[in-house]
Amino acid sequence: MAGRRTALIVANDEYDHEGLRRLSAPAADAAALSQVLSDPRIGSFEVQVVHNQPAHAVQVRIEDLFSESRPDDLLLLHFSCHGLKSESGELFFAARNTRPNRLGSTAISAEFVQRGMRAARSRSIVLFLDCCYGGAFSQGVAVRATEDINVLDSFPAGKVGSGRGRAVITASSAMEYSFEGDRLANARGAQPSLFTAAVVEGLASGEADRDEDGWVSLNELYDYVFDRVRDQNPNQTPSRNVEMQGELYLARSSRRRIRPLPIPAEVEAARTDANMYTRLGAVTELGSRLDGEDLAMAAGAYEALVTTIRSDIRSVAEAAKAAVDKAAIRPAETYVDLGRSPLGAPPPHHVVRLLGPPIARLYRVREADDWIRVNEMPGALGISVGTDQPRSLTGTIQLRGHIGESTITVAVAVVPQLEAPSPPPIRDQTAHAPEAIGRSPVVGWISGTPPTSGAIAPPPHPQSNTGPAAETSAKPNQGDPLYRFLARNLGTAGIPIAIAVVLLLLLLLVAGSP
């Protein structure tokens, strides 16, 4: 993929004007399309989404897309919104502030988009129009028109960049409109999601890769979308206008083409032999081929076994079915509990291995709940979940193998983080310690330290109260003359009172000295 790959998705589902109905799908469709286009395994686009913005803001983003392009860039512009036709027949795309009777100043004209496409240096530009169409008329004019107006008339060949690669693909070939005054009266309702859903499914699943060459071309995608839309709504017909030389590849495909190798003539002869036991021997041989490393040989054996299941007698058909079942897709786990994850934590991740022979480990994700992140790996499946919002969910992942299908159930609980408890306040060890007064023999032996010279002794360091050493250091020296004098005259119980009296006298002396 040479050059940059840039996509701009314009989605408008809410409108200020009461005459423009709110659309139900553009926001969700834009998110799904953005995800598949930006996936490095699929589209590798740099994607920007403009959601419910006024017309002038949308025009700036469109002009930036085209003006900043280079020749080798691939540009993709997608509209999901109301499409309106003016009295003069000009097509407009509705924005948040669009007024149906002031389209020129409040909507994005198809001509504006054409000018941007013509001015762009890029040689590869794709425009997707997934719009609910209606007509806009002057105030007071009541019109109910039934004739179709071809959308591609607004993007005629040669007008969007002569000699360059340009493609316009629309969700419908016609515009049905019904206005009374300037109020849109679309009786069918607004359902613009069918087209975009088909685009997303074709790219994400790889089913749009019709030739299974590992790439989804623009023409392949259109053919796939056309068939899907027509199957679900025969009244809607997607259309295209492509001015390109050669193929334009929009995305990679996870589909791997396996061309079945025909089984040897002698094995085919044994499979169709009149003797039941000979046919059972052929089933055994086909089963061993199905389990082998050669995928083409395994695919050929699988086709032969399926034919046997459908056409042979019960005993032989059951043996063939047992061989096929052993090679069907088989995840090592069908229930994955990602547990409880704190809000905002790294996403929990789990890998599910696929069991069985090589052909059983070929698979693709057919469908998964939108909150489940899936990473397809050779022979395994990576599963993770975002932790950006608290939730408790259970969902499924549908896997389609070369043989069979399987479902994996995923459960997770994202819970708010508990605030860490505040640490206890640091206690000031010296706040309640008695102030030490220097050169006092009484204070000296009370603190357990000898009197020192100096003005003021430092506060005592906290000591442990355990152990004999601590008990010894905490007691005054009983050989001290003052201690013996106090003990003899006051008794041991009166010593604390005497000490308090002495301290009080010392404080009074200090306070009264000049």
- Higher model confidence: residue 68 or residue 450? 68
- Higher model confidence: residue 293 or residue 426? 293
Q: Has residue 305 got a pLDDT over 90?
A: yes
* 435 in any annotated domain: no
User: How does the average pLDDT of the chain come out, rounded?
Assistant: 80
Amino acid, res. 471: E
* 171 in any annotated domain: yes
- Does residue 282 share a domain with residue 180? no
CATH number for the domain spanning 401: value is 2.60.40.10
pLDDT at 165: 85
Looking at the chain, the whole-number percentage of residues with pLDDT higher than 70 is 73
* 421 in any annotated domain: no
- Does residue 383 share a domain with residue 314? no
53-69 per-position pLDDT tens digit = 999 999 999 999 999 99
- Does residue 233 share a domain with residue 92? yes
* 186 in any annotated domain: yes
pLDDT at 290: 96
- Does residue 346 share a domain with residue 322? no
Q: Has residue 447 got a pLDDT over 60?
A: no
pLDDT at 3: 82
**Are 259 and 294 a contacting pair, CB within 8 Å?**
no
- Does residue 159 share a domain with residue 234? yes
Q: Is 392 exposed, middle or buried (0-12, 13-18, 19+ CB in 10 A)?
A: exposed
- Does residue 289 share a domain with residue 158? no
- Does residue 199 share a domain with residue 173? yes
What is the pLDDT confidence band of residue 47, given thresholds at 50, 70 and 90? very high
- Higher model confidence: residue 239 or residue 506? 239
* 123 in any annotated domain: yes
Interhelix angle 110-119/55-67, rounded to 10 degrees, is 20
pLDDT at 512: 67
pLDDT at 386: 87
- Does residue 210 share a domain with residue 81? yes
Looking at the chain, the whole-number percentage of residues with pLDDT higher than 90 is 48
CA separation for the pair 131, 168 (Å, rounded): 13
Single out the residue of 185, 19, 175 nearest to residue 102, CA to CA.
19
CA separation for the pair 308, 306 (Å, rounded): 5
- Does residue 164 share a domain with residue 110? yes
pLDDT at 252: 86
* 426 in any annotated domain: no
pLDDT at 142: 30
* Of the residues 199, 227, 252, the one at which a domain ends: 252
What is the pLDDT confidence band of residue 181, given thresholds at 50, 70 and 90? very low
* Of the residues 296, 326, 356, the one at which a domain ends: 326
**Are 354 and 379 a contacting pair, CB within 8 Å?**
yes
What is the three-class DSSP state of 323?
helix
Q: Has residue 226 got a pLDDT over 80?
A: yes
Give the H/E segment covering residue 485: helix 481-490
**Are 159 and 202 a contacting pair, CB within 8 Å?**
no
134-167 per-position pLDDT tens digit = 443 333 333 323 334 556 666 665 544 444 689 9
Counting the structural domains of the chain, the total is 4
- Does residue 273 share a domain with residue 314? yes
Lowest mean pLDDT among 266-270, 313-317, 476-480: 476-480
pLDDT at 465: 47
Burial call 230-240: b when 16+ CB within 10 Å, e when fewer: eeeeeeeebbb
pLDDT at 155: 62
Both tokens of 235, joined, read 């009244």
pLDDT at 352: 95
CA separation for the pair 158, 376 (Å, rounded): 42
* 430 in any annotated domain: no
What is the pLDDT confidence band of residue 321, given thresholds at 50, 70 and 90? very high
What is the pLDDT confidence band of residue 450, given thresholds at 50, 70 and 90? very low
What global pTM score does this model have? Answer: 0.52
In 369-493 the beta strands, taken as DSSP E runs, fall at: 372-377, 380-385, 391-401, 405-415
The mean per-residue pLDDT over the stretch 122-134 comes to 86
**Are 360 and 353 a contacting pair, CB within 8 Å?**
no
- Does residue 116 share a domain with residue 161? yes
Lowest mean pLDDT among 3-17, 105-119, 140-154, 234-248: 140-154
* 429 in any annotated domain: no
* Of the residues 307, 326, 345, the one at which a domain ends: 326
What is the three-class DSSP state of 496?
helix
- Does residue 248 share a domain with residue 394? no
The mean per-residue pLDDT over the stretch 104-129 comes to 94
Task: Tell me the C-alpha to C-alpha distance, in Å, between residue 472 and each of 464, 478, 506.
Answer: 12, 11, 27
Range of the domain at 396: 331-415
